[in-house]
């Protein structure tokens, strides 16, 4: 049984606690912590877990074998570094950190430790539809990929959501996904700014992100975070010999009043339900088997942060911004992305 401590008991923290408590096997949530002490206490009491005042105390708790970081992005670094210092495996929700410099510090700490302790929550790599799309691409059926069209649509976002988060918090999923899907790095980005939706208030919504890949393909991402009708994630690869796209995921079609309708997921919890289950179960099983983390790494978190920083710069300047990664440390050399 792996004892997990959860830092951050907000939306995804509570959802991961639910799955670790009622869906997954070989895991127990033994401790929780949040700067919102009342929420942490309510959640901790519900599942019989210890409630710590700080994340650092939780990491030091001997009843915690592994740490799950689900607090706000800018707070991730301190907890990931604390877990590495304690030699405990740590699963950090995306983004690994909100700046390139913070990700570099995590890489330095992990490489000094000498083996992988960190996994980042880029769950699309565990989604059946994305995996099926990658299998078609890798089989060669549609030939060399030339373009990928993506849409990342949220029905709405909370009031704390700011302009740059369209890149750093939302499109960062596509940034990680295309590196993994095409097996190559992103070399430059641009952001186009269309007419503003009246549903977004003061927020510039939507945005259009363009990414140039090392092999010459171009990826576009529509980022709409006030689309109202539901949570809609789209992706289509255009190859030299054909195209392949994520399918419609609903198990039913409703025919009524002269129309055919399929339900749209309400949010990311519903759309990626199984992907989150699989990523966390594999993480837990790996810890139980004493195998170093093999999912998205600190290097992937760093690469996503560099592209995301470039995206923010492109958004503010209107310019094409090149992406340059540092040399890859040996610890991550065996990973799929070159
Ligand atoms: P949220 O606001 O619902 O919850 C975040 C929690 O962190 C809050 O309870 C807040 O009080 C707590 N917190 C803030 N600062 C803290 C600190 N210094 N120490 C401890 N706790 C602190 O946000 P959320 O939607 O649950 O997002 C949390 C993280 O998960 C973010 O990094 C977000 O990007 C990520 N996330 C990932 C996915 C995904 O699809 N993989 C989906 C949603 C959120
Ligand atoms: C949120 O943090 C997530 O990670 C969701 O998957 C994404 O769709 C949403 O835009 C983010 O704010």
pLDDT digits (tens, 9 = 90+) for 2-17: 999 999 999 999 999 9
Ligand number, closest to the Cα atom of 93: 1
Residue to probe by mutation, ligand 2, list 268, 269, 271, 308, most atoms within 8 Å of CB = 268
Q: Cβ(75) to ligand 1 under 6 A?
A: yes
Q: What is the pLDDT of residue 338?
A: 44
Question: For atom 13 of ligand 1, which residue has the closest CA?
Answer: 71
Q: Cβ(7) to ligand 1 under 6 A?
A: yes
Q: What is the pLDDT of residue 249?
A: 83
The token duo for 101 is 């410099």
Give the C-alpha separation, 315 to 38, whole Å. Answer: 38
Give the C-alpha separation, 59 to 12, whole Å. Answer: 19
Ligand number, closest to the Cα atom of 92: 1
Q: What is the pLDDT of residue 294?
A: 84
Q: Cβ(30) to ligand 2 under 6 A?
A: no
Q: Work out the number of other CB atoms within 10 angstroms of the CB of residue 322.
A: 11
Q: Work out the number of other CB atoms within 10 angstroms of the CB of residue 14.
A: 18
Q: Cβ(309) to ligand 1 under 6 A?
A: no
Structure letter (DSSP) for residue 93? P
Give the C-alpha separation, 70 to 54, whole Å. Answer: 13
Task: Give me Rg for the CA atoms of the chain.
Answer: 20
Taking 70 as the pLDDT cut, the residues of the chain under it are 336-338
Q: Cβ(268) to ligand 2 under 6 A?
A: yes
CA 315, 239, 249 angle in degrees (round to 5)?
A: 75
C-alpha 12 to ligand 2 mean position (Å) = 10
Q: Cβ(121) to ligand 1 under 6 A?
A: yes
> 186-192 and 321-322: which strand pairing?
antiparallel
Give the C-alpha separation, 184 to 219, whole Å. Answer: 12
pTM over 0.85: yes
C-alpha 170 to ligand 2 mean position (Å) = 5
Q: Cβ(9) to ligand 1 under 6 A?
A: yes
C-alpha 68 to ligand 2 mean position (Å) = 17
Q: Cβ(239) to ligand 1 under 6 A?
A: no
């Amino acid at each position: 049984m792996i004892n997990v401590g959860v830092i951050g008991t907000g939306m995804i923290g509570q959802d991961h606690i639910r799955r670790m408590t009622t869906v997954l096997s070989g895991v127990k949530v033994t401790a929780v912590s949040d700067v919102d002490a009342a929420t942490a206490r309510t959640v901790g009491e519900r599942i019989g877990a210890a409630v710590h005042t700080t994340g650092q105390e939780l990491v030091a708790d001997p009843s915690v074998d592994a740490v799950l970081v689900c607090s706000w992005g800018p707070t991730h670094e301190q907890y990931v570094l604390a877990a590495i210092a304690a030699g405990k495996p740590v699963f950090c929700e995306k983004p690994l950190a909100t700046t390139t410099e913070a990700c570099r510090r995590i890489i330095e700490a992990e490489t000094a430790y000498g083996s992988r302790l960190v996994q980042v929550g880029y769950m699309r790599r565990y989604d059946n539809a994305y995996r099926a799309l990658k299998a078609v691409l890798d089989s060669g059926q549609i030939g060399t990929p030339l373009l990928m069209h993506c849409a990342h649509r949220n029905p709405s976002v909370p009031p704390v959501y700011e302009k740059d988060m369209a890149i750093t918090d939302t499109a960062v999923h596509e940034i990680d996904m295309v590196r993994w899907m095409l097996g190559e790095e992103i070399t430059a980005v641009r952001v186009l700014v269309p007419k503003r939706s009246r549903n977004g208030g003061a927020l510039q919504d939507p945005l259009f992100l363009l990414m140039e890949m090392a092999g010459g393909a171009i990826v576009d991402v529509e980022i709409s975070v006030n689309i109202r009708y539901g949570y809609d994630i789209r992706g289509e690869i255009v190859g030299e010999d054909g195209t392949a796209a994520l399918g419609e995921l609903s198990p039913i079609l409703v025919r009524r009043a002269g129309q055919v309708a399929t339900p749209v997921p309400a949010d990311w919890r519903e759309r990626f339900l199984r992907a989150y289950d699989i990523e966390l179960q594999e993480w837990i099983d790996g810890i139980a088997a004493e195998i170093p983390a093999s999912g998205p790494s600190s290097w992937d978190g760093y690469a996503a942060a560099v592209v995301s920083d470039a995206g923010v710069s492109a958004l503010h300047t209107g310019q094409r911004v090149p992406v340059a990664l540092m040399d890859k440390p040996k610890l991550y050399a065996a990973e799929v992305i070159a």
